[in-house]
Amino acid sequence: MELYDYIGGETTIRNIVNTFYPKVLANPLLAPLFPEDMEPLMEKQFQFLTQFFGGPSLYTERHGNPMMRARHMPFPITRVRAEAWLSCMQSTLEEVVPSPEMRAVILNRLKGPAYFFVNQEEEA
Ligand code: HEM
């Protein structure tokens, strides 16, 4: 059984995405990077997280090879921003995923990519 099924599949991933982005937009370090219309991004993130956690390959079917680090290159991602992103995700998981063990597994899987996407030194 995939992590996707353990955490509750489509319903849980939708809840994560819908809870996460309002937190991102409320974070002064992250908000300036994001577009006004969040709907397309939220749909892509739903598709991406679905396949990232072992569900159907929705993102790749629609958008091709994820190449997520490359897709993040246009945006100045510092270590502090990666930590802010993970912190928004942690509080999202606390609201959406009841099991602390499951929350830890999910957050740990996202930590690698988040730090990997850092593409810029901290701003002075
Ligand atoms: C490290 C901190 C991160 C920051 C600051 C960040 C920021 C962003 C920004 C600004 C966009 C583009 C928004 C737009 O369309 O204009 C984006 C897209 C996206 N991000 Fe992140 N992100 C981070 C980490 C992650 C992580 C860890 C994941 C998943 C593992 C992720 C998944 C995605 C996906 C799926 C997209 C849509 C890509 C596409 O255009 O097809 N991001 N992110």
Residues found in the chain? 124
Q: Residue 50: is it exposed, middle or buried by C-beta count within 10 angstroms (0-12/13-18/19+)?
A: buried
Phi-psi domain of 37 (left: phi exceeds 0; alpha: psi -120 through 50; beta: other): beta
CB 23 near ligand 1, within 6 Å? no
Q: Is the pLDDT of residue 124 over 90?
A: no
The protein residue whose alpha carbon is closest to atom 23 in ligand 1 is 114
DSSP class of residue 29 equals: T
| CATH top class, domain 3-116 | mainly alpha
User: pLDDT tens digits, residue range 75-123?
Assistant: 999 999 999 999 999 999 999 999 999 999 999 999 999 999 999 998 7
Token pair listed for 37 = 């219309």
Q: Which of 43, 110, 117, 122 to mutate to test the pocket of ligand 1 (most atoms within 8 A of CB)?
A: 117
For helices 9-25 and 79-96, the axis angle rounded to 10 degrees is 130
- Would you kindly state where each structural domain of the chain is located, as residue ranges? 3-116
